[in-house]
Amino acid sequence: MSFPLLTATAALPALGAVATAAVPAARRTAAKWLALIVSLATLALGITILVRFDPGGDRYQLTESHAWIADFGVRYELGVDGIAVALIGLTALLIPFIILAGWHDADPLETGNKRWRPTQGFFALILAVEAMVIISFEATDVFLFYIFFEAMLIPMYFLIGGFGDSAHEHGDEAAATQRSYAAVKFLLYNLVGGLIMLAAVIGLYVVAGNFSLAEIAQARANGTLHMATNTERWLFLGFFFAFAVKAPLWPLHTWLPNAMGEATTPVAVLITAVVDKVGTFAMLRFCLQLFPNASKWATPVILVLAVISIIYGALLAVGQRDIKRLVAYASISHFGFIVLGIFAMTSQGQSGATLYMVNHGISTAALMLVAGFLISRRGSRLIADYGGVQKVAPVLAGTFLIGGLATLSLPGLAPFVSEFLVLVGTFSRYPAIGIIATFGIVLAALYTLVLYQRTMTGPVKPEVASMPDLRPRELLVVAPLIVLLIFLGVYPKPVTDIVNPSVKQTLSDVHKKDPKPSVEAAK
């Protein structure tokens, strides 16, 4: 029996979460180091998955399958394709940086009435989220996926509601109320989506008789499983609704700005760079593969929603006065591009969407973490409270600029390649949609450059005159992300080689081929 690598990769952070939570309260530093070591060990396992995965091999590799709830056709089935491998790698990569960035975010508050906070719990919850996200990427049993898709809401709720950003600095009751509101809104939105998906999961079992993704897809391909048109469409809508909430896609997005604004900066990164990727990943793995005809039927409406997300998110980002909420609305715009690439139904679009998930995770983490370091120094999220930072903290300003330029998809940085592929894939099949989506790039340049201008340039405000530059721990967090943005911007081939074969197989699930060029190449 071979070593269960996929199980180990998800189980290690889960066990690490339990061990971290069990560390005595007086040994907070030991809990931090334990969480960091566990996250680094998980990264090592993620790299092992990457090394052992063969892009030219079977669709799902490193598979594991064991009986679980046999009476209901539920199995413990795991397997990874190239898309899952890339996202597991992203998750395992970002968690150590999130832990390092949040090193002091759960320390006891020094206020008039000293408030105790469970430092161990903060880091244990981050590891628990990592475990659930990883197994969501690995699960090839629909019911197994659903369990962890929903279960990750619990630790996220406590991370948002128990360790809010404003309350960290001031400890006031108004801030506590705001973060509680954000946590409840996050939970309710995602629970409603999950309950609708549960009904669809049950409906799928009634139709197919099991929950195995591979078996259901194979039965559909062989013609041994037939779904009535209306049945398939309703089941698709049940799955897609839950994934659109998680993504988040307009108009189901409104929980994200509240959650990111009130969460600590590392938790905000965890939300948008890691957790939200489960929604767009699931669209590729489950919606297209299980319901190919319904996916094509819903494509026109989904493309319109994606374009609205792109423009709407970017426009609201332009008008924001709060740095963290600006990044949140920018992420809504970027997720619109990802959904657009998925449902453009072209190999370029879906490769770009998958690459966009990876690149958006890295670029948003870089920008948001530097913004968090900036906010922690000044004690304010308002853009108007800054000015002239580049004169007193040039390294902080420089890394902030690179993160911002990546967000607007500057050529030479990683997100440019993915955004370019999404637009090329969209133009080839839906030129009008592609033209409208391109305006999102213009708006991205506007909100990013205006943000940098107002915070980093101009006269030095008295409140930032003594602001220290990035410290060694903060540089250790940001520098590798900047290096990755430049490397993948110049040489994205390592990621595209992994994801392209899986994208072609996904495209074949919906019986789509790339459109022929309107002008034949000269012979």
pLDDT digit string, tens, across residues 119-165: 788 899 999 999 999 999 999 988 999 999 999 999 998 888 877 65
pLDDT band at 113 (very low <50, low <70, confident <90, very high): very low
pLDDT digit string, tens, across residues 462-483: 887 888 888 898 899 999 999 9
Average pLDDT for residues 181-195, to the nearest whole number? 87
pLDDT band at 1 (very low <50, low <70, confident <90, very high): low
Q: How many residues does the chain have?
A: 523
Q: How many CB atoms lie within 10 A of CB 327?
A: 29
For residue 112, the model assigns a pLDDT of 44
Task: State the pTM of this model.
Answer: 0.89
Above 70 in pLDDT, residue 171?
no
The answer to whether residues 360 and 273 touch, using CB atoms and an 8 Å cutoff, is yes
Say how far apart CA 222 and CA 340 lie, in whole Å.
29
Above 70 in pLDDT, residue 390?
yes
pLDDT digit string, tens, across residues 285-328: 888 888 888 988 999 999 999 999 999 999 999 888 888 889 89
Helices (H), 77-118: 82-101
The answer to whether residues 78 and 46 touch, using CB atoms and an 8 Å cutoff, is no
For residue 340, the model assigns a pLDDT of 93
The answer to whether residues 418 and 356 touch, using CB atoms and an 8 Å cutoff, is yes
pLDDT band at 166 (very low <50, low <70, confident <90, very high): very low
Tokens of 75: 């199995």
Tokens of 237: 């809508």
Is the bond preceding 251 in cis, omega lying within 30 degrees of 0? yes
Sign of the alpha-carbon dihedral angle for 413, 9, 34, 276: positive
For residue 259, the model assigns a pLDDT of 86
Q: What percent of the chain has pLDDT over 90?
A: 37
pLDDT digit string, tens, across residues 410-438: 898 989 999 999 999 898 888 899 899 99
